[in-house]
Amino acid sequence: MDKELWQGIFPALVTPFKADDTIDFALFGKNLQAQVDAGISGVIVAGSLGEASTLTTDEKYDLVKFAKGILPGSMPVVLCIAEQSTAVAVAIAREAEVIGANGLMVLPPMRYKADDDETVAYFTAIANSTSLPLMIYNNPVDYKIEVTLAMFEELASIPNIHAIKESTRDVSNVTRLFNRFGDRFKIFCGVDTLIMEEVMLGADGVVGGLVDAFPKETVAIFNLVKAGRYQEALSIYRWYLPLLELDIHPKLVQNIKLAAAQMGIGSEYVRAPRMVLKGEERARVLAVIQAAIETQPALPDYLNLAS
């Protein structure tokens, strides 16, 4: 995967399940097609939003193989690695290359709060085990380990670390990264509520969540900002923000799956210990989704913009 392919909208795909708890590959395919039609640039499978913590390793590989089988050949399929053991992470990285994944999105070690040296060593071991390019996922809010500028300075010497998913929730960190590293890394916004701001600050792409349910609007905001058509992007973004806030919540999986189900490209089923939303909580989230559906904005021809 060429470094230049790290750009645009990369959905962090949900994993649709059937009532019997197996993966609904037909529905997965339907969602993938909606993403492609909307103009996304690549996909990420088996991430946190994809319920990686309850998927078996073989299921993760099956998702990669299925996506590779139906997506355009030039579209990258990125597998998420979120493991507590370096040895297991390395094994997954090697197998991902064998089965045709185009890249890896790598979280810091899970469960154990590694220090800076341990975290850099973990990323380095994974990168050195494969020729696949890596995106480093920096999310200290949810995963309690921050990848600092000094740590990225060390990681910059590893040629197949191509990208950073910037999820510190500090928009100024995008500028810090560009000031320190120039174009060494491709920078992706990883927080749904900040997509417009961070793309305006120069982010190369977005790893999105609500794009699973509303792919066209997500790509439209990105493309319009890149084309300098800020007012048009802002109008869509203001409509979108109540939905995007469903992503920064402990039940983001249930929220986004409910939204995708309402849009006809997903299902609500989740794997235990998660449970589907119910009662007042479900009604509250559903009201946000339904209000957005009733007021969906008309989109310009965002796939054919002069940037």
Q: How would residue 29 be classed by pLDDT, with cut points 50, 70 and 90?
A: very high
Is 80 exceeded by the pLDDT of residue 306?
Answer: no
CATH class held by domain 3-294: alpha beta
User: Domain limits of the chain?
Assistant: 3-294
Quick: pLDDT tens for 215-252.
999 999 999 999 999 999 999 999 999 999 999 999 99
Please check whether residue 269 is in contact with residue 276, taking contact to mean a CB–CB distance below 8 angstroms. yes
- Sheet containing 134-138: order of strands: 8-11, 205-208, 186-189, 161-166, 134-138, 103-106, 77-81, 43-45
Q: How would residue 198 be classed by pLDDT, with cut points 50, 70 and 90?
A: very high
At residue 230, what are phi and psi to the nearest 5 degrees?
-70, -40
The CA distance from 31 to 74, in Å, is 18
Q: How would residue 152 be classed by pLDDT, with cut points 50, 70 and 90?
A: very high
Quick: pLDDT tens for 263-291.
999 999 999 999 999 999 999 999 999 99
Quick: pLDDT tens for 169-186.
999 999 999 999 999 999
Q: Which amino acid is at 58?
A: D
- The pLDDT of residue 9 is 98
User: Whole-model pTM above 0.85?
Assistant: yes
Quick: pLDDT tens for 114-126.
899 999 999 999 9
**Percentage of residues of the chain with pLDDT beyond 70:** 99
Quick: pLDDT tens for 37-85.
999 999 999 999 999 999 999 999 999 999 999 999 999 999 999 999 9
Q: How would residue 89 be classed by pLDDT, with cut points 50, 70 and 90?
A: very high
- The pLDDT of residue 111 is 86
The CA distance from 251 to 48, in Å, is 11
Mean pLDDT of the chain: 97
Tokens of 59: 């299921």
- The pLDDT of residue 307 is 53
Overall average pLDDT of the 289-297 stretch: 98
